[in-house]
A and B are shown apart, each in its own frame.
Chain A
C-alpha cells in the first residue's frame, strides 16, 4: 500500500461491522489540520458513516478540490483511491470518473471557496446533471488554506478576524442545490455528529446527486465574535427540522413509533430513511415547500439543518445517457472496436 496507515491497535472491544471491518479500517492518515478544525470532525463522521453502512472501503472513490477541506480525503478511507484535483474543479473530475465506472461510490469533498467561489459553475452543473455522488461542502465562510479571506458563503454583514465587514451577499449552497435539481439536500454542523453521521449514510446510499452543506468552523480564521460561521453562532442559530435514522435494506423496521411523528422514505437501494419531525410543518419530499421554508427561515436568521429534501425516485446521469451497466473502463476490445467490415461499409458510404 502506498499510504501510511495509523498504527493498528486492534482493541479487542472494537466493534466489527457486517464485513468484519472495524472503524479503524475506515481511517486514513493523521490529519495535518489545525487542532479543533471543524473539518476533522467531518472526516470522523465520514469514517463512522462508512463503517455503519458496511461499505467496502476500496469501492469508494474520494475526490476533492483544493483547500484545507479538500486535503481531508487523505485523512479518511486509506484503502480508497483518492484524488486531490485542482481548485474548484472537483465536480468535473468526479463526473468523468463516474462516467468511467458507474459501479463505485463517489464522494466529493470541497470547501466553500472551492465550491461557491472559484468552482460555483462546476458545482451547479454537476448538480444539474444528477451525477450519482455524495458532495460535501465543509463550509467555514473563509479560505482557510490561504489564511482567512472571505469566501462567497460569508454572510453579508459578518466580520472578518481583522474586523473587515463583508458587504457582498452570501451564497446559500443549499438553496442553490435545490434550485439546480439536486435530489438529496441536507445541511448539518460539524459539531453535531449525531445529526451528521446519518445524513452522510443516507447521502452515500442515495442514487443521484446528494449534497450536504456542513457548517464547519475555521478555528484559525473565522471563529470570532461577529462571524456567522463560528461555533457559538452556529450553535445558537441552528434549527433542525428533523432527526434522521438510516436503516440499511437488510434491517427490518422493528421499533414502534407514535403515529404521525415519523416519515419513512425507502431509497432506491432498499435502505429506509426514518425521519422524526422536529419542525411540525416541514416536509422534506416537498421541493417547492422546502425552498420556501428555507427562504423564510433564512430571512429570520435561522440556520436550518437536517434532511431538507429527498427524492427517492431520482434518476442519475447514467440513466439519461443510457449507458451499459458494466463500467465503461472494463469493456473489452471486442465491445469497443467495431469490426473491419463496418469500416468497409463506412468507406463505401464516402465515395
Chain B
C-alpha cells in the first residue's frame, strides 16, 4: 500500500456529481467554509453541458500559500456519480483518497489498491432520515458535506453559520440542513478516521472576495456607465448579461419614479445584438453585447462597420473552445485573432485582456471610456475559466473622483460658436475625429453615416486618394490607442537573464506559481503580461532584450504570438510557443516544465512534480 498523502492546507479535492442533483450548493458551502477559515481556495467547475443528469465536476485547490491556478492531480475524489466512476477513480494520485457512497456493495475490482477508500453509506443514512424524495435529493449533499467536515477538520460552526446565511430568506429550512450536516458528521466521527489531508485556520484570505469574472464584468459595465445591453444567450457569456441585469435592478433605477436608467434587450441573434449596440453607440449611449466565439463570427460585418464608420461599442467575448457542439463548456483563448482582425477590409480592433475578475471589473468599465474616446469597437476578452468560475481576488475598488470620459463630442454651443465640423477630420493630430450626436443642433452638425466612400466632411466620395487618406488616419488613431490601453506588466527575475516569458489572461494564477517555482529552483526568467492590443513599444523592447521569449497561451495556433510577429515584425525563431489547449485551465506544473525544458534546465523540481 502506497503511503497515504498527508498535507495541511495544501491539496486538491474533486467532486464528481450528477448535474441537477443539488450538489452545487453543497460544494459551494464546502469552499466558503474553507475560505472562512482563512485558507485560500481556487475552484473550478468542469461541466460538459448544462443538461440535467449529465456529469459535472467541481475541482477545488486548497492552497495555504495562495496558489490559485489549477494544480493538476486529485488528492481526494468525492465520487458521487456512478457514470464516471472509473475515470474518477483513475484520476486519484497514488496515496490519495476516494470518498464514496458505500450503501451498495461494490466489487473490489472497482477500486485501486494504492488509494485510501473512505465509504459512507450515504443513501442509507439519507433514506433512513427522510421519506420525501425532494428532501432526500437535496439533503444527501449536506450529509456528505457533514462527513467531509469531520474528515478534513473543517470547523463545524463555520459550516453551520454558512447554512444559516444561505437560508436566511427561508429560515424554516435551516434546522433540517443543520440536522443533515450532523448526520454526516456523526456517522463519519463514529465510523471513520480523519484523513491525512487537513484544514487548519490561518489568516491568508484577508478581505478578499470570491467572485466570477462575468459577474465582475457585468458590474464593471454598470460602473462604466453602460445603458444599453443587447445580447443573445451563449455559454459561457450568458451570466455576464444576467449579472448586468441584476446589478442594474439594484443600482440603476430612478429613486423617485422607479424607472430604469438602462435598457436590456435579448435580441434574436448576435447580428441583431451587435446591430443594436451599433445603433445605440451611434446615438451616444454606452452600449455592449456579450458573447463567445460563435457570436463574434456572426458579428463580423457590423464590427467592420464600427471600425470604418467609427462607432463606439463594447463586446465582451467570453472565450470557449470550438464551434457548434465542439467544446462550448471548456475554456480557451482561441478568439484572439478573430477578434483582433475581425471583419472584411483592412481592420484591426482594440482588445483588452483581463487576467481575472478584478480586471474584468476594471476593464469592463474602462472599455466604455475607450470606446467613446476612440470611437470604435472595444473587445474585452474573457474566457470560460475566469468568466464562470469564482476566483479569490482583492475587493473591487472604484475611485470616487473618476468621471466617465465621453470622448470628442461636438456640442450645439461649439457649433454655434462656429466650429468647423468635419465628422472624419483629424483636427487634433491624434487620428480621432469629433462627432455630433443626432439632434445636436437645428441646422448645423448633421451628417450622413456610411462605411467608407466619404471625405473628411462625410461627403460621398469614391476617390482613391480620399480613401487612402482616411485609412491612414485610422492607423494614426490605432497608434493613439496604444497610449490609452492598459500597459503591460513586467516582472524581472532576481538576476539578469536572457530568457523572457509573455502571457496574458487567465494564465496569470498558474504563471504566478510557475515563476515562483522557477525562482525557487534558481532559474531566472523575466515575465511580461500583455493587457491589451494594440501592443505598445515596451512589449517589443522586452522581446528585443531577451534571446528567447516563451509565449504562453491557451490555444493551438499560438494566436497572440502570431499577432506579435505580425504587428512587431519579430523574428518567429525568438518566440517559443508554450500551448495548453485541451479545454482545461493551464497549470503551473505544465508551464514550469515547458519553460525548464525550453531553457535546457536539466532537472527542476517541476519536472519531478509532473506525474
Contacts and interface: CB of A to CB of B under 8 A. Distances in A.
B283 A96 contact: yes
A285 interface: no
Given A56-B442, A58-B439, A333 B404 contact: yes
A23 B110 CA distance: 88
Contact of A331 (B227, B446, B457): B227
Given A100-B285, A350-B210, 10 more contacts: A1-B444, A2-B423, A61-B283, A79-B446, A92-B273, A92-B275, A99-B285, A122-B271, A322-B259, A336-B252
A82 B279 CA distance: 11
Interface of B: 35, 207-211, 219, 222-223, 225, 227-228, 230, 247, 250-252, 254, 257-265, 267-269, 271-285, 287, 301-302, 305, 395-398, 400, 402-404, 421-423, 436-451, 457-460
B446 A80 contact: yes
B446 A63 contact: no
Nearest to B264: A321
A35 interface: no
18 contacts: A1-B444, A58-B438, A61-B283, A80-B446, A84-B448, A86-B451, A92-B278, A96-B287, A99-B228, A99-B279, A323-B262, A328-B227, A329-B285, A337-B402, A338-B251, A343-B396, A347-B396, A350-B210
A25 to B, nearest CB: 9
Interface in A62-100: 63, 73-74, 78-86, 89, 91-100
A78 B281 CA distance: 21
A104 to B, nearest CB: 6
A335 interface: yes
A330 B404 CA distance: 13
Contacts of B267: 92, 125
B396 to A, nearest CB: 5
Interface in A310-351: 317-318, 321-325, 328-331, 333, 335-340, 342-343, 346-347, 350-351
Interface centre among A2, A61, A63, A337 (most CB of B within 10 A): A2
Nearest to B279: A96
B162 to A, nearest CB: 11
Contacts of A103: 439
A287 to B, nearest CB: 23
Given A61-B439, A125-B268, A83 B449 contact: yes
A333 B225 contact: yes
A323 B260 contact: yes
A121 interface: yes
Nearest to B457: A2
A3 interface: yes
A340 B401 CA distance: 10
A59 interface: yes
B261 A350 contact: no
Contacts of A351: 35, 207-210
Contacts of A129: 265
Interface string A35-62: 0000000000000000000001111010
B271 A89 contact: yes
A101 interface: yes
A99 B265 contact: yes
A2 B421 contact: yes
Interface of A: 1-4, 56-59, 61, 63, 73-74, 78-86, 89, 91-101, 103-104, 121-122, 124-125, 129, 317-318, 321-325, 328-331, 333, 335-340, 342-343, 346-347, 350-351
B219 A2 contact: no
A3 B447 contact: yes
Nearest to B305: A86
A321 B446 contact: no
B271 A92 contact: yes
A59 to B, nearest CB: 6
B207 A80 contact: no
A321 B260 contact: yes
B436 A347 contact: no
Contacts of A339: 400
Contact of B302 (A56, A86, A100, A343): A86
B442 A346 contact: no
A61 B459 CA distance: 18
A309 B49 CA distance: 46
A122 B263 CA distance: 18
Contacts of B252: 336, 338
Given A86-B301, A321-B263, A2 B280 contact: no
Nearest to B444: A1
A292 B407 CA distance: 53
Contacts of B460: 74
Contacts of B251: 338, 342
Contacts of A93: 275-276, 278-279, 282
A43 to B, nearest CB: 14
B450 A100 contact: no
5 A-B pairs closest in CB distance: A92-B275, A96-B279, A100-B285, A96-B276, A329-B284
Contacts of A125: 267-268, 272
Given A2-B422, A323-B259, A328-B262, A101 B438 contact: yes
A318 B264 CA distance: 10
B210 A58 contact: no
B32 to A, nearest CB: 9
B79 to A, nearest CB: 30
Given A2-B447, A2-B458, A95-B276, A328 B261 contact: yes
B227 A100 contact: yes
A58 B449 contact: no
A331 B279 CA distance: 17
A85 B280 contact: no
Residue among A74, A92, A129 with max Cβ neighbours from chain B (10 Å): A92
A343 B459 CA distance: 47
B397 A80 contact: no
B285 A101 contact: yes
Given A2-B459, A58-B439, A346 B448 contact: no
A40 B346 CA distance: 34
Nearest to A63: B279
A82 B422 contact: no
B444 to A, nearest CB: 6
A124 to B, nearest CB: 8
A79 B442 contact: yes
Nearest to B449: A83
A122 B272 contact: yes
Nearest to A336: B225
Nearest to B275: A92
A95 B279 contact: yes
B398 to A, nearest CB: 5
B438 A80 contact: yes
Contact of A1 (B437, B443, B450): B443
Contacts of B446: 1-3, 58, 78-82
Contacts of B276: 92-93, 95-96, 99
B579 to A, nearest CB: 33
Contacts of B274: 92
B465 to A, nearest CB: 19
B405 to A, nearest CB: 10
Contact of B257 (A73, A324, A337): A324
Given A89-B271, A122-B275, A329-B437, A96 B230 contact: yes
A147 to B, nearest CB: 18
B541 to A, nearest CB: 36
B404 to A, nearest CB: 5
A136 to B, nearest CB: 17
